[in-house]
Chains A and B, each alone.
Chain A
């Protein structure tokens, strides 16, 4: 799917994506991952966060060519909400 033809994302869809990817990484269920949960509370260490970042970059490349999460910004991502807000800003969605 190319960036030109992908269905536009909204914030809700980004949240679903983040929860799905995190659930796969943590071997849990998306329903166990609340938007306001911190990565620490979910048991996601720094390596899990990088797994999440790489998965998001791979999935979101179809919406924004070359989508990339800057390594310098990783420290500021401490919760699911942080990750969703970050991606939303990067993709300029509501």
Chain B
């Protein structure tokens, strides 16, 4: 019997309405099984979906680790426990990212050998498979060994989910030369070169994120988060500027009518809601972190990704990648 995906119905800017609507779409359009986890009185109409009732909600500004201890009956903690107890196949949340990670880590546990879980975020690569940026914000302070693990885990995710054989891995730096970068980058470069299980192609720069010639871009969580938010802000600005320019006068509007037919598919490819959120890699279970502003479409896609990586046996593959000597 297929286990349902535990969906945190309380997390995100548009929860619970858009989250529940997204779950309904996932059930109706994709045939997925979903269980909503949340406070019934706040969820309201669950649209015919099963609800795992809890009484607390971790807020966006709650301390991630402490909130898991203080709010043991929160939707995030309960969702992670459902996965831990094999009552759900995965968990999905658009809520507090730090608390989502803390819930998964403290309840599901780390995979053997993993120093720290990381967040792997797909960046759209128009015309190709997305480039996965890792770590996108879980760990500000990293060691070279952690970056190697991030690269290994992200490579498994890319192979499993996007079907890319031997994903190319690039190390984010300020120049292609191996002599460039911080002490962490230089030391990580050496280790990555020495890791035969990886298809490490060398350093890449910020401008190589989109479009990209690599499948995985590895960096520390602080840099990764800055890069991601910079990209998001820049893309948003460009879209907004284009739309504004089109609306300038009758001539631009007429031109816009022609251009939009070609621009909209590109814009659609670049919107985050199509990507299905970020993966938390390194915990003993599947945890998808949706964007905080997830609407119903984004929620549905996050659930889709969770189901797909579960069906592909990603967690077992991650275990093998980190501890090949203990492969089943």
Q: How far is the CB of B319 from chain A (nearest CB, A)?
A: 14
Question: Given the complex, which residues of B lie within 8 Å of A71, measured CB to CB?
Answer: 66, 69-70
Q: Quick check: A46 and B65 within 8 Å, CB to CB?
A: yes
- Report the Cα distance A45→B117, complex, angstroms: 13
Q: Quick check: A27 and B102 within 8 Å, CB to CB?
A: no
- Report the Cα distance A43→B115, complex, angstroms: 11
- In the complex, the chain A residue whose C-beta lies closest to that of B98 is A47
Question: Given the complex, which residues of A lie within 8 Å of B70, measured CB to CB?
Answer: 71
A6 CB–B CB distance under 8 Å:
no
A51 CB–B CB distance under 8 Å:
yes
- Report the Cα distance A51→B108, complex, angstroms: 12
Q: Quick check: B115 and A54 within 8 Å, CB to CB?
A: no
B260 CB–A CB distance under 8 Å:
no
Q: Quick check: A26 and B115 within 8 Å, CB to CB?
A: yes
User: Which interface residue of A26, A47, A71 has the most chain B CB atoms within 10 A?
Assistant: A47
Q: What string of 1s and 0s marks CB contacts (under 8 Å) between A42-55 and chain B?
A: 01011101110110
Using a CB-CB cutoff of 8 Å, which residues 9-67 of chain A contact chain B?
26-27, 43, 45-47, 49-51, 53-54
B114 CB–A CB distance under 8 Å:
yes
Q: When the two chains form the complex, which single residue of A43, A45, A49 contacts B143, counting CB atoms closer than 8 Å? A: A43
Q: Quick check: A43 and B141 within 8 Å, CB to CB?
A: yes
- Report the Cα distance A51→B115, complex, angstroms: 13
Q: Quick check: A27 and B113 within 8 Å, CB to CB?
A: yes
A and B contact pairs by CB, cutoff 8 A, 9 listed: A43-B143, A45-B141, A47-B64, A47-B65, A47-B101, A47-B102, A50-B69, A50-B102, A54-B106
Q: Quick check: A50 and B106 within 8 Å, CB to CB?
A: yes
Q: How far is the CB of A48 from chain B (nearest CB, A)?
A: 8
Q: When the two chains form the complex, which single residue of A26, A27, A50 contacts B66, counting CB atoms closer than 8 Å? A: A50
Interface residues on B, range: 10 to 19
Q: How many residues of A contact B (CB 8 A)?
A: 13
Question: Given the complex, which residues of B lie within 8 Å of A74, measured CB to CB?
Answer: 66
Question: Which A residues have a C-beta under 8 Å from some C-beta of B?
Answer: 26-27, 43, 45-47, 49-51, 53-54, 71, 74
Question: Given the complex, which residues of B lie within 8 Å of A26, measured CB to CB?
Answer: 115
- Report the Cα distance A54→B105, complex, angstroms: 12
- Report the Cα distance A51→B114, complex, angstroms: 14
- In the complex, the chain B residue whose C-beta lies closest to that of A57 is B69
Question: Which B residues have a C-beta under 8 Å from some C-beta of A?
Answer: 64-66, 68-70, 101-102, 105-106, 113-115, 141, 143
User: Which interface residue of B64, B65, B105, B115 has the most chain A CB atoms within 10 A?
Assistant: B65
- In the complex, the chain B residue whose C-beta lies closest to that of A69 is B69
Q: How far is the CB of B65 from chain A (nearest CB, A)?
A: 4
Q: Quick check: B105 and A27 within 8 Å, CB to CB?
A: no
- Report the Cα distance A47→B115, complex, angstroms: 12
- Report the Cα distance A54→B102, complex, angstroms: 12
- Report the Cα distance A45→B64, complex, angstroms: 12
Q: Quick check: B69 and A51 within 8 Å, CB to CB?
A: no
Q: Quick check: A47 and B143 within 8 Å, CB to CB?
A: no
The 8 closest A-B pairs by CB, nearest first: A50-B65, A27-B115, A47-B65, A46-B65, A71-B66, A71-B69, A47-B102, A54-B106
Question: Given the complex, which residues of A lie within 8 Å of B68, measured CB to CB?
Answer: 50
- In the complex, the chain B residue whose C-beta lies closest to that of A45 is B141
- Report the Cα distance A49→B114, complex, angstroms: 16
Question: Given the complex, which residues of A lie within 8 Å of B141, measured CB to CB?
Answer: 43, 45
Q: How far is the CB of B290 from chain A (nearest CB, A)?
A: 21
Question: Given the complex, which residues of A lie within 8 Å of B101, measured CB to CB?
Answer: 47
- In the complex, the chain B residue whose C-beta lies closest to that of A50 is B65
Question: Given the complex, which residues of A lie within 8 Å of B114, measured CB to CB?
Answer: 27
- Report the Cα distance A59→B187, complex, angstroms: 37
Question: Given the complex, which residues of A lie within 8 Å of B113, measured CB to CB?
Answer: 27
Question: Given the complex, which residues of A lie within 8 Å of B65, measured CB to CB?
Answer: 46-47, 49-50
Q: When the two chains form the complex, which single residue of B64, B105, B143 contacts A51, counting CB atoms closer than 8 Å? A: B105
- Report the Cα distance A53→B70, complex, angstroms: 13
Q: How far is the CB of A12 from chain B (nearest CB, A)?
A: 28
